[in-house]
Structure 1
Amino acid sequence: MSPRTSDCRPRKKALGPAIRVALLVAGSALAGSFAASAAPAPADDAGWQFSGDFRGGYFASERTARDGTESDEDAFNARLRLAFERSLNETWRFRTRVAGRFSSEQDDLDVYLHSYAPTRGGADFGDITLDEAYFGYQAPDDGLRFKVGRMQTAFAVPGVASKGLDRNDSPNIGVNWTDGVHLDMPVAGGWRGHVIAQYQDAKGSSSVTAAPLDFSDSSSRATLFLGMENKQRVGAITQRMLSLTWMPDSLADRGLGDPSRQDYVTVDARIAAEWPMGATGAKFVTGAEVGYAMETPLDAVSGTGGNGDTGGLAWQVQASVYDFAPRHNIGLAIGRADAGWLISPDYRPNDSSVEVRYQWQFLPKTSMEARVRERRELEHPAGTRARVDRDLYVRVSHKF
């Protein structure tokens, strides 16, 4: 369970939750209907298409703090997402989605539409919002793709425990989003170029960002992501990608209370491969990713106990076996992120992580998944011990 963080903003209570959900959905539908009437005649008259997904289960964790104090918590947590989509013509479409996070331990219910998330990890438990509301363009023959509005952007290493070091919106039961523009274009030889320009609100980001990233400076309003990706198979290799993230004047390298701001720039590379295992249909999938932050905060800001700059290296390795028995998959993910790597939704700064994940696809659209994980602090002040977190979950996912 994710407790409310200290950067939560005041919650609006002017409208009842049910009324506000209805307004969000109705507003999205009206926007799509208006766009459809203004666009050229559609290729078909299929109207609105509805889809969604539910994910929920039991989550438990325990912590051994730096001073040796032990604590634990558990809850039943869930995420529900309902999407509405309409084709405007052969190349354009409109899509919107309502997303909510819920927990047996939540304090209240809040429905909102902000350009920032209320916590550094995204939407909190009890929150309902739109995590998609965009116009999308798809050129024929797998050509140019284009989205503008609120969308999901994700690039991850494939596997049962699929994870990413940089841009990976809404993992697990999280709710994050990207407000901006995503240009996805063919280059050559199976390579595609990605350009994502994301708006950042002065009150915070809608993506996962760890302190001391800060967007209060007027010159930090836009984040730029540039990527080159190739998913065309070459032998056993199934994915290659290089990317760069630029967050101008967003790093409070001397602390949030100091006016000093630096550009936060990271580079990232990932690769994945796949091999068949025998004649039963089983396959082995593995992948690796490494990232490096050019500029990092001081150790004194991150609380590592050092007296210089924090490290900027992050990496992960994954290995999965699919269909080791029919519809049963298992995966291992190992990774770590130095205290200066501040943009991963899957790996916390200054932590190492080891997890095992099991998945059973017992129906075409329904699966059960279980995870056990240990996260251990990398650096800590002298006279203290490394913080250790252990957690597990058992959850069910269903698409409709």
Structure 2
Amino acid sequence: MKPRSGQYFFNTMVFFLVFAIFLTACSNPSTKSIEGVNRSTSKNLQAGQNHKGAGDDEQLFNTDPQKKEGENTESIQIHEQQENHKIDFSVKPNELGQVMILMYHNVSEEETEWSRSYYNFKKDLQTLYENGYRLIGLKDFIQGRIDVHAGKTPVIITFDDGLQGQFNYIEKEGKKVIDPSSAVGIMDDFAKTHPDFGKKATFYIYYPLPFRQKEYIKGKLNYLVSNGMEIGNHTYTHANLGKLSSEKIQKELALNVKVTQGYVEGYSVDTLALPYGASSKSTYNFLKQGSFEGTSYKNNAILLVGANPAFSPWDTRFDPYRLPRVRASSPYFEQWIKYFKENPGEKFISDGNPDIITFPKELKKHFNEKVANKKVITY
């Protein structure tokens, strides 16, 4: 046998060297590829744990078009929310649901179109409580500060006209006391036995004699504010704003603010209930803000007279300058209570955490990302 040539030996060595490199590559997958997957997973989980700001909120309900087939990133994020924030999904939270803003006028012995009887007003509070409603302030509502327990539904009570049946003082054993049959007296008593219900309400007053007891005007207004209730603008003379010029509108609204602040120093009167529900398209902007003789006003909400619940403040259809109200009289009050009892998926149901907005993912199309400055969860 002839000895192998130098060329043959060189070719053999090259073959074995290439084969060795191939074996090494197969037994050591790319470290870079593994790290890439880990970083991606970590980023998704971290987004679920530490989402802050509107930009990060979008990650929680926008499906990533680049995610790989079979990779359930969205479910991981929601799972992280469950772990970290303990949202009780069994209550079916829906913070894009509707909220009732109830409109009352007088509270008196007899039931009429514009007056609720003492008996029925007490019954209304009990009905609301038993059906899972809890009071919040209007200012909190329009600013998205909704803080009620998980599974509960916020409701807002408003009173128009500043009538004596809403807030009345009487003499008892030589002392001035709140009339237990007035709206404030009834709400105070109900809150004592149902402290978790609250006693928030907004009173839309006009002058010169709100609540019809001149000697008690200052005391009553300060009592309301010190007890967490609110005072709203109902013009100075209960004027029909749909018939006034822009100059007269500003006078009516600014004078109301000026006189109220004379009774309650520094108080911000920044919501308006339209007398008669009247307005004009040509002067509507002057309902929002204006000034008269050095007194300025700026309304963050304008309330109508009727006739249905309001959208959630995070719904794209929410308009704080045209907030509808439910007439709190028969049969309207009972009809809406029944409607939401039969259609619970349409009402606002709290997740119990005021810093998080939770709603079913099928409602995403109505979510207004521009106004949401909270964490967001869909399910």
TM-score with structure 2 setting the length: 0.26
Which has the higher relative contact order, 1 or 2, with Cα contacts under 8 A spaced 6 or more apart? Answer: 2
More helix by share: 2
More strand by share: 1
> If you compute each CA radius of gyration, which structure gives the higher value, 1 or 2?
2
TM-score with structure 1 setting the length: 0.25
